[in-house]
Structures are given as structure tokens and as C-alpha cells.
Amino acid sequence: MMYREEIEIETKEGISITDITKNVEEIVKKSGIKEGLCNLFIPATTAGLITNEFDFMLFEDIKRFFSNLVSEKKIYSHPENAFSHLRALFTKSDLLIPIKDGKLCLGTWQRILLMEFDIVPRKRKIIVSIFHDSKI
Amino acid sequence: MMYREEIEIETKEGISITDITKNVEEIVKKSGIKEGLCNLFIPATTAGLITNEFDFMLFEDIKRFFSNLVSEKKIYSHPENAFSHLRALFTKSDLLIPIKDGKLCLGTWQRILLMEFDIVPRKRKIIVSIFHDSKI
Amino acid sequence: MMYREEIEIETKEGISITDITKNVEEIVKKSGIKEGLCNLFIPATTAGLITNEFDFMLFEDIKRFFSNLVSEKKIYSHPENAFSHLRALFTKSDLLIPIKDGKLCLGTWQRILLMEFDIVPRKRKIIVSIFHDSKI
């Protein structure tokens, strides 16, 4: 069986971080699937997914790190938001997380985070596909 | 049902970028699968996959960025192409993209890109595995 | 059918690299699955998975590179191990590797590596989920 749903998130301009774990957990619950795998996919080129701890101090470190790694002040060939595209390269367009006993197998501090790098607020879509096999 | 096929791409020496979206789209079409997930896997250590915009100016930015991030001029322990291995770390060996209505759920500007980092042209293989469930 | 098992690895404090390919290969063999896909997931925020060559000289290059990319000497907002979290961002929490003829489709030099970035030794769990379809 496969179950699919979409999450819509309105982001602030980059660099901003949104915890979408609860949104995914709700879909997993709704699917009724107890053992399986959950794929997240973001159809975007200036935003991406990561898993890490939810901690505002760590978020400050992450934002500062990406700002330094890919400077906004350099001259780029691609107009306007080249640095947004480059920063997104260091995140994932897809994640695949196991489901056990009806729950995502995340670590104690591990959360699913959407990172927005674009220079304007965006409405982002994340496609959630859950699949399982009756014989697991 | 699962459908599997391989793509072969002859690359130029790194840093070079090849858009393989059409190759994958053809396989999805041929599979006849309307709703499912498409896994791409590259059995390589000096090349990798990313998704991003297809734009030659952005490609210049990406190449320049990777060249600066992992310099070819430093002294490395691993002989010859250590910088190729290090650059490949910042790409993906696998992608998992949803299929809906027989089409990859890519964003408007989002393309599947093969990044070659090796110091000589290579023949690269990408394994495409598509799976679906009849009940989706 | 889906088959699931867990790997437990005791790591040394970061930056340390452990080749877990044999552990995964044993599980694939035990599962009896000939054609399918193998998902690895690490429920962690200061460690991650990569695929690359197993070579101690390359490991030295990788460790040196990550040490320089994310300095331990900078001042961070998140206490103690912010740099461990930041380094983990550049690895993967999940991998999805095709299985063909009962074997992982890895490249000649491609190995599955666990990268530990935390400041103390850790007991790490990797969840291995293998799925296939009888019609492949």
C-alpha cells in the first residue's frame, strides 16, 4: 500500500528554518501504516530538507555557517539568488525515514527541518509518500 | 511492481555537469508506472547526483564554488584525485523522487544533474529503480 | 516483502570513520532478497552516513577537510558540540542502495561509511530496511 499527501509551508525569506516534524507525524498517523518507510520530497531549487536538532541557538549557528560558506557579497553569474541555489546544494531534496509501530524512527533530538534560502518568502510544498508491505 | 533500468553517461573530466532529467523521464514513461517512487543510484566515489536549476550561468557558479571549497592545489594524502572524492561528498549517491500521473514530481526549475569530479572523462552508470503499489 | 534489522556500532569520538559495508551485506544476505532496495537510516544529529572509498589516506583528507570546514575554535551559540551538528549536516541521515542478484549495487571502490562527529564515543544504531517486489 502507498499513501500520499502534501504539506504546504509558508516560509520567511532565507535563511530561515521551519520544523515540519509534526506535519509529517500527523500524516503518518492518518495513513494508519504501522511498519514502512516515509519519503519526503521538496520540488525546489532554493530550499531543502535536513534532519537535525531543534534548538534556536543551533539554528543561529547553522544560519551563520551557511552565510559564511556561501557569501551573498560575491559576484555570481546567475542573477539575483545564485547564493540561494548554492546553499540549497548542501541540503537534501529527499529524505527516507523508517516507520516502526506507527511512528517515525527519529533519534531523541532529531527533527525534520525545512531550510529556506530564497530571498523572498515562499510557499513550499513537500510531497510525503508512505509505503509498506503487509508482510513486514 | 518494480521496474529497473540503467543509464550510461559519458562525462567530461571534472568539474562537469550533465542534465540527465530526460533520460530518467524516458525510463519512467517506458515503465508505464503512474504513481510511485523513482530511485536513482550512482555507483561512484568521484561523481554524484544533485537536483537544481539547469542554467549555464548557475553551472559556472557551482563549478567555481566547488573549486574554491575543495582546492586542487592543497597537498592531500590520497594520491592523484583526493579533491574529486572530497567534492563528491557534497553531492548525493542516491535520489528518491515521487511519480504522479506518470511524471516525476520535479519543481518548475528543478532538474536531475550528474556532477563529474574526476580528473579524466568517465563512463558513468546510474541505476534507475521505479516501484509502485497497485493500491496507491 | 520488507525485511528490517538494526546495526549497532560503537564509535570513537569524532572525527572517526567506520566502514559498515560488511554489516549491511550480511543483512542483505540474511534477508534472502535478490532484487530490491536497501534503506539505511541513522537516528542521530551528530553523526551521518556517506558512501566513498575505503582508504586510510583518504580518511585523513576527509577528517582534515571537515576540521577546516567547520572549526572547533570558533564561538558557537549551541553549547559544547555545535561543530559536531554542523559537520553532520554535510553527511546523509539516509541512503537507498539497489540490490541486484542478492548484492548491493556498490561501485568498485564504493563503501558505506559511518562518520562520527560527536566529542565522545557513542553507540550508534543504523536501521536497515530492505524491500522488494516479487514481480521485479
Q: Which of B29, B7, B4, B1 has the alpha carbon at shortest distance from B114?
A: B7
Residue-wise pLDDT tens digits, C107-131: 999 999 999 999 999 999 999 999 8
Decide if the complex's ipTM is over 0.90.
Answer: yes
Amino acid C132: pLDDT:
83
Q: Which of C29, C34, C42, C46 has the alpha carbon at shortest distance from C112?
A: C42
How would you class B1 by CB atoms within 10 Å of its CB: exposed for 0-12, middle for 13-18, buried for 19 or more? middle
Residue-wise pLDDT tens digits, C9-20: 999 999 999 999
Is the peptide bond prior to B15 cis by the omega test (within 30 degrees of 0)?
yes
pLDDT above 70 as % of chain B: 96
Q: Are strands B2-10 and B123-131 parallel, antiparallel or unpaired?
A: antiparallel
Q: Which of B1, B71, B65 has the alpha carbon at shortest distance from B34?
A: B1
How would you class C54 by CB atoms within 10 Å of its CB: exposed for 0-12, middle for 13-18, buried for 19 or more? middle
Amino acid B48: pLDDT:
98
Residue-wise pLDDT tens digits, B109-134: 999 999 999 999 999 999 999 988 65
Partners of residue C6 in chain A, C-beta under 8 Å: none
DSSP letter, residue A81: T
Residue A2 — very low, low, confident or very high, per pLDDT cuts 50/70/90? confident
Residue-wise pLDDT tens digits, B16-54: 999 999 999 999 999 999 999 999 999 999 999 999 999
Q: How far is CA C36 from CA A100, A131, B91, in A?
A: 20, 14, 23
Residue-wise pLDDT tens digits, A29-79: 999 999 999 999 999 999 999 999 999 999 999 999 999 999 999 999 999
Phi, psi of B72 (to 5 degrees): -85, -10
Q: Are B115 and B53 in contact (CB under 8 A)?
A: no
H/E element, C32:
none
- Rounded CA-CA distance B115/B46 in Å is 9
- CB spacing of C135 vs B1 below 8 angstroms: yes
pLDDT of A135 above 60: no
- CB spacing of C133 vs B1 below 8 angstroms: yes
Three-state SS annotation for B46-63: CEEEEEEECCHHHHHHHH
Partners of residue C61 in chain B, C-beta under 8 Å: 76-78, 82, 85-86
- CB spacing of C51 vs B45 below 8 angstroms: yes
Measured in angstroms, the CA of A31 and the nearest CA of chain B are apart by: 12
- Rounded CA-CA distance A10/C123 in Å is 38
Grid coordinates representing B33 are 508506472
Q: Are C135 and C34 in contact (CB under 8 A)?
A: no
H/E element, B21:
helix B21-31
DSSP letter, residue C56: H
Residues in contact with A45: Cβ distance below 8 Å, sequence separation at least 6, in sequence order: A85, A88, B51, B52, B53, B107, B109, B110
Measured in angstroms, the CA of A8 and the nearest CA of chain B are apart by: 14
Average pLDDT over residues A113-134: 93
In DSSP terms, A6 is beta-bridged to: A127
Other chains touching B, judged by 3 or more CB pairs under 8 Å: A, C
Average pLDDT over residues B91-120: 98
Amino acid B2: pLDDT:
86
Amino acid B132: pLDDT:
83
Does the pTM of the predicted model rise above 0.80?
yes
CA-based nearest residue in chain C for residue B75: C61
pLDDT of B135 above 60: no
Amino acid B1: pLDDT:
65
- Smallest Cβ–Cβ distance between C45 and the set A52, A91, A98 belongs to A52
- CB spacing of A95 vs C94 below 8 angstroms: yes
Q: Where do we find the cell 566513498?
A: C52
Q: What is the mean pLDDT of chain A?
A: 95
Encode burial over B103-113: b for 16+ CB neighbours within 10 A, e otherwise.
ebbbbebbbbb
Amino acid C134: pLDDT:
54
Which amino acid would we find at residue C40?
Answer: L
Amino acid C136: pLDDT:
37
- CB spacing of A45 vs B55 below 8 angstroms: no
Grid coordinates representing A29 are 498517523
- Smallest Cβ–Cβ distance between A45 and the set B35, B100, B107 belongs to B107
Q: What is the mean pLDDT of chain B?
A: 95
Measured in angstroms, the CA of B110 and the nearest CA of chain A are apart by: 6
- CB spacing of A45 vs B57 below 8 angstroms: no
Low-confidence ranges of chain C (pLDDT < 70): 1, 133-136
CA-based nearest residue in chain B for residue C96: B94
- CB spacing of A62 vs C93 below 8 angstroms: no
Q: Are strands B36-41 and B2-10 parallel, antiparallel or unpaired?
A: unpaired
CA-based nearest residue in chain C for residue A97: C41
